[in-house]
Each structure stands twice: as C-alpha cells, then as structure tokens.
Amino acid sequence: MAAAQRPVATTFSRCVPNAVRGRHLFEVSSYSLNKGLGPGTFIQSAVFSVGGHDWCVVYYPEGDGTDGSDDYVSIFLKHVMSNTTSVTQLAPTMVTTVSSAMPPSNRVTADFSGVNPCWGLRKFMQKCLLVGYLQDDRLMIECDVTVIKGRPVLESQRRCKIQVPPSNLLENLGILLETGEGADVTFKVEEVIFHAHKVVLGIQSPVFKAELYGLLEDMQPAIFKALLYFMYTDLMPDISNVGGEEREEMVKHLLVAADRYGVDRMKVMCESVLAQRLDVKSVAATLALADQYNCSKLRESCIDFINSLNSTEDLQASEGYAHLKRASPDIIMEIWEKGTKFRKT
C-alpha cells in the first residue's frame, strides 16, 4: 500500500469582471461599386457607444495596403474616444443578413483583442470568397464588443489540496482472479479448473451472463485463461515469450474465443494484431478466419494486402490458399474483381 501523502497547502483566487456588451450592424450597400477603390482606402461606420466608450468599424474593401493584403478584405475596430481605462474584447462576425439567427455555416467569425486605439485583421477573408456571403449585392458586418469596466473584483481564499492516489481497481481485479478469493463459479477446461466471479463475467460478456456453469468444450486452458485475464483487467495478456507462428495461432484462438463470448473489444484487438502480421504465407488463412467470424476490417486488410503483391505464386502455393478456395470460394472472385480495379488505378 502506498505511503500516505501529506496535504499540499494551496491558495485560490477568482477574477470577477464587470462587463458591458454592445452590438453594431454596419451595412455596406452596393458592394460591387467598391471594387477598384485601391489598397489602403477604407469605409468607416458611424460612431457607436459601448460601455462609455466610442467605437467605429473600419472596412478596407481592397486590403489595408500592407504587404500580402491585396487579395483580402481588412476589418478593424477603432477606439474613437475613452473616458476611463479599460480592456476590450470583441468578436466581429460577417453575415449575409441582419438577423443574428443565421446558421453557423452562413457566417464567418474572427476574434481579436488588444489595447491599441485600432486593431483587427488585415487578412479577414479573401475577396474571392467574400462574394459567397453577399445578398443582393449587400454586405452586413456584425460587430460584438465587450468592455470590461473598472477594476475586476478579486476573490481569494486558502485551500488545502490532498493528493489522491491513482486508481488500482484493475490491478485488484487481476489479483482477485489470480487468488480466486470470493469466487462463485467454476469452469473445467479439459482437465484444468478455473475459479471466477459471476458478476465480473456477466458484466463483460452477454454469453457468460446466460451460461455460467458447466464444462467448456473446444477450448484450450491457455486460451480460456487469457480470456478471463482480459475480462478482469481489460488488457491483452503478455504473450511476448511465445514464438512467432505459435503467437499468431494463439491470437487467432483468442479471436475465436472473443467472438464466441461476445467480448467485442478483445476481438477487435486480435484483428489489429493479425492485420499487422500479415505475410504471403499467412494471409490466405487469416482471410478465411476473418470471413468466417465476420471480421470486416481484418477481411478488408487481407484483400488489400493480396492486391498489393507483385506476384501471387507463393500465395497460391500456400496451404491457407487451398483452404480459402474450399471454405470461401466467393472471396477469390472478390479478390480478382478488386485486383482488376486496383491495377487500373
């Protein structure tokens, strides 16, 4: 058990600003007539007031004249007059109509803030794209301004933070499986006895929930042990000490067991392992397995692998290919059809 950790003294504060929000709608009628005004030429809105401050929108139809802005429109918010010191935040939104209920797909938003008298976006939008936001040759610029007035209220207090140890639930469940403490169900696999807990198996597998007693046939003890380990820990067992071909066969057996007992996550993990280990000798047998147990992703990976081969002589000579032709003849036609499309592209 981890040693107890001493509490950490922590201070906490909160800033509560006093904000005033206003909105100004700036309509640019006969938008097409503004073409050719030249970079650096701007159109200015009427002055409006928000939070005791005066503002106006400055719009450059041909860009503000800086390098790289010629293909864009520029939009700025100008702080005309200030009676008190403040910080401002604004979010201009370009829309096709005055209505603020337009769907998000019909509006373009840019957020910017600062303390200079005038700030904004030199490259707000490319002129060629802006045309899509016009209605009746009319551009509507909607500008929301939030003024934070006065000094924010500051709240402060002292907190004591206690370190919480990491969860060890999965580790404890694994130990519970290993020790068999409190087990209330027994399985016999060949001559090996396994003790488990109904509630854990029932949560993890709908099949186990329906059938929790009896002798398990067509199952190897090592495979059943690995299946139980996954159901208790949600982790694949460590099979790094198992040889290459033997490891692949074990993963295939685990896939079959996962399919049999409805442990879907484990089944997908087995598919992923097999897909990463495909080679000419094994791909046909793996494809037959994927087709038999409805592993669509693994099935697709196998067919793509076969179609990527420069030659299929070794594939056709493999034992798995002969089995594939007997067990799933329709797949051979599917491989041929997809291979023809693949070569055309």
Helices (H) and strands (E) in the chain — how many of each?
12, 13
pLDDT of 306 higher than 50: yes
Whether 21 and 145 have beta carbons less than 8 Å apart is answered as: yes
How far apart CA 195 and CA 118 sit, in angstroms, is 74
Beta-strand ranges (E) seen in the chain are 8-28, 43-44, 48-50, 53-60, 72-82, 87-95, 108-109, 112-114, 118-126, 139-161, 185-189, 192-196, 214-216
pLDDT of 206 higher than 70: yes
Side chain identity at 257, as an amino acid letter? Answer: A
R_g of the chain, CA atoms, integer Å: 34
Say which residue, 61 or 120, is predicted with more confidence: 61
Kindly indicate the confidence band of residue 216, based on its pLDDT and cuts at 50, 70 and 90. Answer: low
Handedness of CA 175, 178, 184, 189 (dihedral sign): positive
Helix 296-307 and helix 283-292, axial crossing angle in degrees, nearest 10: 150
Residue-wise pLDDT for 182-194, tens only, equals 888 888 888 888 8
Identify which of 309, 310, 302, 311 has the alpha carbon closest to the alpha carbon of residue 334: 302
**CATH fold of the domain at 169-344:** Potassium Channel Kv1.1; Chain A (3.30.710)
CB count within 10 Å of CB 115 equals 10
Q: Where do you find CATH 2.60.210.10 in the chain?
A: 12-154
How far apart CA 175 and CA 191 sit, in angstroms, is 23
Query: Which structure tokens are listed for 322?
Result: 């002969």
pLDDT of 87 higher than 80: no
Which residues fall within 8 angstroms of residue 199, CB to CB, at 6 or more apart? none
Count of CA atoms in the C-beta half-sphere (13 A) of 73 = 23
Which residues fall within 8 angstroms of residue 64, CB to CB, at 6 or more apart? 39, 40, 42, 74, 76, 122
Residue-wise pLDDT for 230-285, tens only, equals 988 888 888 877 777 788 889 999 999 999 988 889 999 999 989 888 888 888 88
Query: Which structure tokens are listed for 37?
Result: 């005004």
Give pLDDT, residue 259: 92
102 phi and psi angles, rounded to 5 deg: -65, 145
How far apart CA 56 and CA 51 sit, in angstroms, is 14
Say which range, 47-51, 91-95, 166-170, has the weakest mean pLDDT.
Answer: 91-95
For the segment 70-96, the average pLDDT, to the nearest whole number, is: 62
Q: What is the CATH number of domain 12-154?
A: 2.60.210.10
Q: What is the pTM of this model?
A: 0.47
Give pLDDT, residue 160: 55
Q: Where do you find CATH 3.30.710.10 in the chain?
A: 169-344
Kindly indicate the confidence band of residue 143, based on its pLDDT and cuts at 50, 70 and 90. Answer: confident
Residue-wise pLDDT for 19-59, tens only, equals 778 888 888 888 888 777 888 888 899 998 887 778 888 88
Say which range, 118-127, 222-231, 271-280, has the weakest mean pLDDT.
Answer: 118-127
Give pLDDT, residue 153: 57
How far apart CA 56 and CA 117 sit, in angstroms, is 11
Give pLDDT, residue 212: 67
How far apart CA 297 and CA 147 sit, in angstroms, is 54
Give pLDDT, residue 254: 93
Give pLDDT, residue 256: 93
List 154's β-bridge partners, or say none: 15
